[in-house]
Amino acid sequence: MSTRTATDERAVVIGLEVHVQLETDTKIFCGCSTEPAEDEEPNTRTCPVCLGLPGALPVLNEGAVEAAVKIGKALEADIPERTDFHRKNYYYPDLPKNFQITQYDAPICADGELEVAVEDSRRTIGITRAHLEEDPGSLQHAGGSIDTADHTLVDYNRAGTPLVEIVTEPDFRSPAETRAFLAKLEEVLEYLGVFDATRDGSLRVDANISLVPGESVAGDGSIDDDALAAANRTEVKNISSHKGAEKALAYEVTRQRNALRRGRAVEQETRHWDESRGITVSMRSKEAEKDYRYFREADLPPLEVSDWRESIPIPELPDARRERFRAEYGLGAEAADKLTSRKAVADFYEDVADRFDPDLAATWVADNLLGELNYRDMAITDVDDRLEEFARLIELVDADDLTTKNAEEVVLRGMLDDGDDPDTIVEREGLGTADTGEVEAAVADAIDENPEAVDDYHDGDDGAINFLVGQVMQRTGGSADPGEVNALLRERLAE
Ligand code: ADP
Ligand code: ZN
Ligand code: MG
């Protein structure tokens, strides 16, 4: 048997370590703000604690613990009664204390899972653990990249920002699955209100990847632990988006396959994802856990969350809400998906579906509003202070005070492009629906003034009716209902 066949049968194994920036007002161990100001000066949101000055003592932020507990509950993880903090020791210029406060053998969440839809199948990804830690500062390499810069500046504004690091089991079998997982994870985090996806660097991913012999994959897709441990894996750092994860891992699959095919071993190492070049580059051989000399953080007492964790509620999550929307409002799968993937969209839909017709509300929110927003590269969060105005627009359509066509093409677009409210646009453009008398008169005029079209219609050319409908629509300034005009024309022409 040739080596080529053997290596071609290798299966892809991926596990992720996802760093999530928590939306708290202040940093995890001090009172410094986490809110970056626009055009902010470096090193302005700092204090003795986050600068690691001698004698400064950390005080744990309650809000960060609550956020971590919510994440644990959403991931169906175990939240032990007692958890504690450790120091992870290493030197790097963005880490002024020379150690990072993190969690080690007693993380706040362990043994959870997240279900993900990948194409037509559903996969359950195991969550090994999720722990709290502080973010280091950030480095700015003058001249662009770490390997070409002639000097580097350091900014400690980010130092001490609360993070939860979520570590998955090596349960992914393709790069596409990691992308679906990250999108789902973001949905859940956003529902929990602990995370802001629009913030730069709020989600950072390290991806571990190896190729294992096909024979070590069992019929149910599981892979035995010995094969996982034996496989040389690379850890790809610097991934900051769902798409980035998929691309970096696809690159890595090809690179590792090619190495094995040529009879070379895959080095166990840390690699850097170069987004602009679309390649991974070797950074260093992979460090081992023992290198970090973890020991207990004696400045922070162990944290008891036993009674507290019960009193921290979490909202209905996207999957449950999707199912409820289908049952309660009779929505199809696609509409329910679109309407629940962002919490703000789901809340808005629910508000208008309870006030008007649920189907009309679904068309307006899922298709029209989201479609027009998407076209303008905008999100629901860009207009969340104007939702009452959109509800008013749906109300006008629901009450037949505005035609669907005018509502879509004139009012909705005007609202987004010029920022006006619907009543102002309707008034200014004279878009109120025509009353019956007005439509009757326009129908009579259209018939009188277009004898040829009338003859064609009577000769059996059904297309002529569309021409006449157009004539009526023109005369009413688009404010008549085309279906009604069509019926009325046929009635009159039959007389
Ligand atoms: P380390 O101590 O080297 O960081 P961990 O056991 O903490 O290793 O695992 C880190 C990540 O590596 C986890 O996300 C895990 O799922 C993943 N992982 C473990 N084994 C493999 C493997 N054979 N291939 C790909 N990823 C793996
Ligand atoms: Zn501080
Ligand atoms: Mg690790």
pLDDT band for 146, please (50, 70, 90 cuts). confident
- The answer to whether residue 55 scores a pLDDT higher than 90 is yes
Residue nearest (by alpha carbon) to ligand 1 atom 13: 15
pLDDT band for 222, please (50, 70, 90 cuts). confident
- Of 172, 208, 222, the residue with max ligand 1 atoms within 8 A of its CB, to mutate for a pocket test, comes to 208
- Rounded to an integer, the average pLDDT of 265-282 is 92
- The answer to whether residue 200 scores a pLDDT higher than 60 is yes
Higher-pLDDT residue of 465 and 290 is 465
pLDDT of residue 7: 46
Q: What is the value of pTM for the model shown? A: 0.84
pLDDT of residue 8: 55
pLDDT of residue 435: 73
- Rounded to an integer, the average pLDDT of 18-42 is 94
The Å distance, Cα 94 to ligand 2 centre, comes to 14
What atom in ligand 1 is closest to the CA of residue 228? 23
The Å distance, Cα 79 to ligand 2 centre, comes to 28
Q: What percent of the chain has pLDDT over 70?
A: 98
The Å distance, Cα 163 to ligand 2 centre, comes to 15
Q: Report the candidate in 268, 120, 245, 97 with the shortest Cα–Cα distance to residue 183.
A: 245
Round to whole Å and give the CA distance between 362 and 346. 10
pLDDT of residue 52: 95
The Å distance, Cα 27 to ligand 2 centre, comes to 7
- The answer to whether residue 1 scores a pLDDT higher than 60 is no
pLDDT, tens digit, for every residue of 100-139? 999 999 999 999 999 998 888 889 999 999 999 999 999 9
pLDDT band for 285, please (50, 70, 90 cuts). confident
- The answer to whether residue 2 scores a pLDDT higher than 60 is no
pLDDT band for 4, please (50, 70, 90 cuts). very low
Residue 289 Cβ < 6 Å to ligand 1: yes
Domain ranges of the chain: 11-311, 318-429, 436-493
Q: Which CATH number fits domain 436-493: 3.30.499.10, 3.30.70.260, 3.20.20.70, 1.10.10.410?
A: 1.10.10.410
Residue 168 Cβ < 6 Å to ligand 1: yes
Q: Report the candidate in 226, 251, 122 with the shortest Cα–Cα distance to residue 170.
A: 226
- Rounded to an integer, the average pLDDT of 264-291 is 87
pLDDT of residue 264: 92
- The answer to whether residue 79 scores a pLDDT higher than 90 is yes
Residue 489 Cβ < 6 Å to ligand 1: no
- The answer to whether residue 422 scores a pLDDT higher than 80 is yes
- The answer to whether residue 9 scores a pLDDT higher than 90 is no
Hey, which of 137-151, 163-177, 372-386, 421-435 has the most confident mean pLDDT? 163-177
Residue 15 Cβ < 6 Å to ligand 1: yes
- The answer to whether residue 3 scores a pLDDT higher than 60 is no
pLDDT of residue 427: 86
Higher-pLDDT residue of 303 and 287 is 303
pLDDT, tens digit, for every residue of 289-343? 778 999 999 999 999 988 888 899 999 999 999 999 999 999 999 999 999 989 9
